[in-house]
Structure 1
Amino acid sequence: MRMPRILVLGNGNVLINFDEKLNLRDLYFPVIGLDNHVGGPHCRIGFWDEGVFSWLGEESWQRRLRYREDSLVTMAQVVNDRLGLELLISDAVHPRYDLFIRRMRIRNRKSWRRKLRIFFSHDFSISGTEIGDTALVDPVSRGVCHYKRSIYLLANGLAQGKGIFQYATGRKRFGGAEGTWRDAEDGWLEGNPIDHGSVDSTISFELCLEAKEEENLWYWIALGDRLQVVRQLNSLVLDRGPEHLLQETDNYWKNWVNRHDWNFGDLPEKVSRLFKLSLLIIRTQCDNRGAILAATDSDVLATARDHYSYIWPRDAALVAMALDRVGFPEVPQSFFRLAVKMLTEGGFNLQRYNADGTQGSSWYPLIRDDEEQLPIQEDESALINCALWYHYRQYRDYEALAPFYWDLVKKIGDFLNQFRDPATKLPLPSYDLWEERRGIFSFTVATVYAGLLAAANFGELFGDGKSAAAYRQGAREVREAMERFLYDGKIGRFLRGVYPRRRNSRMELVPDFTLDASLYGLFAFGAFSTDDPRVERTMTAVEESLRVKTGIGGIARYTGDWYFRMSEDIESVPGSPWFITTLWLADWYIARARTRDDLASARKVLEWVADHAMESGVLSEQIHPYTGEPLSVAPLTWSHSTFVMTVANYLEKLQALSTP
C-alpha cells in the first residue's frame, strides 16, 4: 500500500520524508536525491505501558500532520484514546548543522501515575543497500551509531534529564530475523552492543508521568562522514540544548520565506499559506550543490523499480524560473553551474541526471530500425536557455552570467539551430515532455523557439552578433514552421504534434489530433500571443475536453492518459487530474484577463489546488479523479513550483488591472 510523503524536511545536505503514519521513510545524505539510507522500509516509534505495546503507525492512533506557519518545523498532533496518550511532535532538520531534531511532548491523559517506555527503531540501509552496514553502541556519546564507508548516523536523546534507557542492535530480514523492532514489543531490549551486515537498531527511553502531566522527550540523529563528526554534533546538541536548536530552525525558515513583503491581494489565506509552504518544500528538494530533484518519494520503487530522485532539466529549469520570479535566486544560480557540467559536447541534455550531474537511468533507445537517434527531449535543452534569460531579466547580473553564455547558452543555441529539418525548418523528432512518444510536438517546438530567442538575446548582450543573428533567424523559421505544419485549419486549432513517416519514398508528417494540456506552451513561451484566435480555439478545446467531469474536477494531461489511470470512462475522466496541467489552465485565464473580474476563474483554480493538497500542504503529482487522494509521488517539486509561478502571474496581473 502506498503511503505518500506528507511531511518533508531538509537543509540541502539532509532530506527526511515522513509518511502519513509518521514513519520515517526516506533519508538522503550528504547529497539530496543520490543515496537514500532508508528507501523502502521505515523507522518506527513505539510505546509500552504496563504490558501494552503500540506502534505509532497502528490504526488506534489519530494523527493531524502539519507544519508550523511559514516554517519547516512540523506540528503533529497524535492521540491514542486506548493508551490514554496525547503527543505533540515537532521535527526539524537544522539549516546549518546536519542534525535531525525531534521534540515529543507526551501528555498522560489517565488519572494515575505511569511509567512509559518509548522506542525508536532504525531500519537504515546505508547508501541504498543492506550489505556491509554496522550498528554499534558508542561509549563516548552514549548513542547508537550506524555506519558504512563515509556515512555515519548517530541516534541519541534525552527524557527527564536521562539518556537512552535500553538499546539493541541485530540482524534484519535475514535468517528469519525480522529486526530488533520485534524485540521492543515486550517492552525490554536485550542490549547487544554491535552487529554487522543487514542490521537495524532500537533504542528506548523511560518517562514517568503523573496524572494529567506532560513532559518533553528529545530525540536526534547526527549525520556526518566519520565517527568524530557525529560525536561533535551530539555534543553540540547537549551543550546548546535541543530546544534552542529547534527554535533556531523555526526562526531561520520564517525569515527565509518572508524575505519579501508579500501582498497577496484578494487571494484567500489558504492560497497565500500554500504559496509560502510551496517555497519551503521546493527548498527541501534542492541539493546545495545545484541539483533540483523532481521528487524524493521512494514508494514509486514498488511500481517501476526506479524513482523520481533525478534531475529532469525541464522540471529543474521551470522550478528555477519560478524561484527567480519570486526573488529566490540562490538555488537557480547553483543549478546553472551544475547545468554546465550536465550538458553534452553536442550541446544537448539527456533525459535525466543523478543529483551529482552524472547521467541517470533512461528508457530511450540510441538506435531504432537500424538508425541512430538522439535519446532526448529537446525541450530539456531549450528550457535551460529560457531559464537563464529569465534569470538575467530579473537580476541583470551581467558579469556573473557572462561565462554561462559561452559554456552553456551558445552551445545549446547552436544545437537547437542545427537540429532541424532543412525542408520544413521544424526541429527534428525527439521525445515529448511526457516521455511517451517520439515526434515533433507543439510544446517542444514552442520551447525551441523561446530557447533560440534567449540565445539571440544573450549573443547580442555579450557581443556575439553573428551568432545572435543566426539564432534570431532560426527562431523566425521555427515559428513559421509551427504555423504551417502544427496548425490544422480544418479543425481550427493546433495539433499536439506530427510524426514524420516515409511513404512511397516521400516523407510525410502524420498529424496527432490528441488534445494535450501541454498546448499551453504555445502562448506560455511567447511563440503566439494570447489573443491569437488559433490559440484561443486550442485552449478552449483543452479546457472543455480535458476537464475531469467528477466531483473532484481538475485537468488531465491528455485524452486517454494511461499513467495511473483510474477509470475507463474517457469521456468523463480523460485522465487523472494533475496539479500542473490544471494550473496551466489558470495561467491561460490570467494571460487573457482584461478586467479584475476576468481573474475569478484563475482564483478558483488556485483555491482548488489548496483544497486538494494534503492536510500538511504537500502537493502530489496527480490525484484520484473520484476520491481526490494523492496518486504517484508526493511532493512533486514541479507541482509546487507551478503553483508558485501561477500565484505570481495572478498577482502581477491583478496589480496591472488595478492600476489606472
Structure 2
Amino acid sequence: MLGIVALALTAGASIAPSLRPPVALASEGLVHSWVLDEDSGSAVGFAVAVPTGTSPDLLPGSHVLDPGADAAPAERRAALEAAERQRAWVAAGTVPGADGPHAPLARTALLDLHTATHSPDGEVQAPQAAPTGAWRYIWPRDAAFAAVALARTGHADDAVAVLSFFDGVEVTPQGYHARYRPDGSVAGDGRAPQLDGAGWLLWATAEVTAAAPPTEVEDVRRRLADVTAVAGDLLMTATSAPDRLPPPSSDYWELPETRLTLGTAMPVLTGLDALATLHEGAGRAAEGAAARTRLGEVRDAVVHVFGPTWPREAGGRHQDAALAMALPPFQDAALPGAEAAWRLSARGMARPAGGLAPGQEWGESDYSWTPQTALYALAAASLGDDAQAHDRLDWLASHTTLTGSIPEKVGPDGGSAQVAPLIWSTSLVLLTLAELD
C-alpha cells in the first residue's frame, strides 16, 4: 500500500501542459489513504492518484484505501472513520438514477466528487480538475459544475464552500484566470483569462441558491455576495459595447481567439440570466431589471451573429460542442435554430470509439472526449430526448477506468486515456441523471 501511495504522489510529474500530449492514462482514479506518522504515532491522510493498471482495495462503499489487517491501529481507525464519513455523506443526499441501470455510475461519480471536494479529514475544498500532472489546478468552469452537481444531489452547503473559493482570487478585466492553485494563487502558465468563467460562476451561484433550504437562502446569498458582484460586473462591462456582444476571449478550448466563439457567448448569456435572477431574488429590483434588459439585448445580438447554424466562431462554418449550451438547461428555451443545428452537429464530432470531440475542427482525429459527450447527454435529457441521453450515459458507463471513474478521453480502441476522474465529466453525468429523474 505504501508503494501505491509513493507512486501515486509522483504520478504525472513529467506531464507538461499541452494541447495534444501523447495520450496515455495517467491515473485510474482518486482515493484517500491514511498512513502512520511514526514520529507522532497518529495517522495522516492523503489524496492519492491511483496509478495506471492498479485496482486498489477500497473500504466498502467508499473511495478510501483499505490499509490492510496488519496496519497500525491508528491508521486503520482513521481509514475506517474516513470511509464512514463518505458513506454517511452519500446517504445524506440523493443518488440520481438510483433505481435505474446507471446507479453504479452515479454512486462512483458521487464518491469521486466527494473525494475531489473534501480533504481526507473532511474539510471542503474547491476541486482540482483531475488528480495528476497539469490537471492539478482549479478551473472556474469545472468548479462551477461541481458545485451545481453537489447542490442537485443534496449537498448545498458543500456547494457554497466550493464557490467561496473564488471570493478574493485575482481577477482581470478580461475575466477570471484559466486556472488557480489550491491556495488561490494564479497558475501563471501563460494561459489567457477566460470570460466564460464569470458566466459559469454566476450560473452555479444561482443554481446553488435555488437548491438551498428556504431557511438558508439568505445566508447563501450573503456568503456568495462577493462572487456574484465580481462576476456580474465582469459580464455587464464585457457586454457594454453598443453592439452588446462580448469581446473575443479564450474559452474552454483555451486557445487565443480573435473572433467571438460560442464557448464564450453562451456562458455569458447563461451568466446574465443568472445575474438577473440573483438580483431579483435578493430584492434588488433595479439591478435585476438592468441585467434582464442586458440579457435580452445580448441574446438578440448573439442570435443575429450565430444563428441559425450556430458555428463555433462568429462568421464560421464548423460547429463545436458548446452548441449544447444554446439549449436547456443553460438557456430557458433553445435559441432559434439551435436545436436543429445541435442534432446535426454530433455527426461531425463523432470519434471511432463512439464519443465526441470538442468540435468539428478539433485537431485530434481519434480520441473521444468525455466532457463533451456528457454535455450532449445533459442537453438531450433537458430536451426530453431520454433515449439519446441514456445512449450517451451507456457509452460513458462502458468506458470507465478500473476504479469506475470517468476519464477525460477514450482512445480509438475504447481504452481510457489521459486522466481520471475528470471532475467536469463526473459532474455532468450526475446532472444528466438528476435531469432524467
Give the TM-score band, short-chain normalised. Answer: 0.7 to 0.9
Give per-residue Cα distances to partners, 1:420-472, cap 9 Å, x unaligned: 36232111111122112413122322221221222222223333332222211
Q: What pairs up with 1:74-93 in 2 under 5 angstroms?
A: 91-92=65-66
Task: Note if contact 1:66-1:616 (Cα within 8 Å) is conserved in structure 2.
Answer: no
Structure 1 gap segments, 5+ residues each: 23-63, 74-90, 93-101, 104-215, 219-236, 299-306, 365-374, 499-510, 568-572, 652-660
CA separation of 1:447/1:617 partners in 2, compared to 1, >3 Å: closer, same or farther?
Answer: same
* Shift of residue 540, structure 1, vs aligned partner: 1.5
* Amino acid corresponding to residue 431 of structure 2 in structure 1: M
d(CA) in 2 for partners of 1:275, 1:67: 17
1:331-480 superposed matches below 5 A: 331-344=158-171, 346=173, 348-364=175-191, 375-395=192-212, 396=214, 397-404=216-223, 406-420=225-239, 422-438=241-257, 439-480=259-300
Measure how far apart 1:385 and its partner are: 1.0
Alignment equivalent of 1:603, drawn from 371, 390, 403: 390
Q: Distance in 1 between matches of 2:310 and 2:25?
A: 39
Q: Paired residue for 1:70?
A: 61
Change (3 A) 1:347 1:470: farther
Residue by residue over 1:389-447, the C-alpha shift from the partner in whole angstroms, topping out at 9 and shown as x without a partner, is 10111114233134346422123222211213623211111112211241312232222
TM-superposed deviation, 1:258: 2.2
Aligned residues of 1:322 and 1:644 also touching (Cα < 8 A): yes
Tell me, yes or no, if structure 1 residue 264 matches structure 2 residue 94: no
Distance 1:472 1:449 in 2: 10
1:561 aligns with 2:352: no
Provide the C-alpha distance between the structure 2 equivalents of 1:325 and 1:415, rounded to a whole number of angstroms: 26
Question: What is the correspondence of 1:587-598 to structure 2 with a 5 Å cutoff?
Answer: 587-593=378-384, 598=385
Shift of the alpha carbon at 1:497? 2.1
**TM-score, length-normalised on structure 1?**
0.56
8 Å CA contact 2:25–2:417 kept in 1: the answer is: no
How many Å apart are 1:4 and its aligned residue? 2.6
Counting matched residue pairs gives 398
Separation (CA, whole Å) in 1 of partners of 2:151 and 2:137? 21
Corresponding residue to 2:112 among 272, 277, 281: 281
SS at 1:258 equivalent: helix
1:479 touches 1:527 (CA, 8 Å); kept in 2?
no
Local SS of the residue matching 1:494: coil
How has the CA–CA distance of structure 1 residues 611 and 495 changed in structure 2, closer, same or farther, with 3 Å as cutoff?
same
TM-score, structure 2 as length reference: 0.83
CA displacement 1:265-300 (0-9 Å, x = unmatched): 7621xx2112111111122222536322111213xx
Matched, 1:484 2:295: no
Post-superposition offset of 1:534: 0.5
- Shift in Å, 1:346: 4.8
Deviations 1:49-93 (A, max 9, x none): xxxxxxxxxxxxxxx5464553113xxxxxxxxxxxxxxxxx24x
Distance in 1, matches of 2:388 and 2:82, equals 38
Residues of 2 paired with 1:459 and 1:578: CA distance? Answer: 36
Structure having the higher strand fraction is: 1
RMSD: 2.6
Matched-pair identity in %: 24
User: What amino acid sits opposite 1:363 in the alignment?
Assistant: G
- Name the amino acid aligned to 1:351: A
Question: How far apart, CA to CA, are the structure 2 residues paired with 1:515 and 1:338?
Answer: 33
Higher relative contact order (CA 8 A, sep 6+): 2
4-13 or 516-525, which moves further after superposition?
4-13
Q: Which amino acid aligns with 2:297?
A: E
Contact 1:66 1:617 in 2 (8 A): no
Query: CA shift at 1:638, angstroms?
Result: 1.1
* Whole-Å separation in 2 of the counterparts to 1:263 and 1:648: 5
2:15 is matched with which residue?
none
Distance 2:62 2:155 in 1: 16
Of 384-393 and 442-451, more deviation after overlay is shown by 442-451
Richer in helix (by share): 2
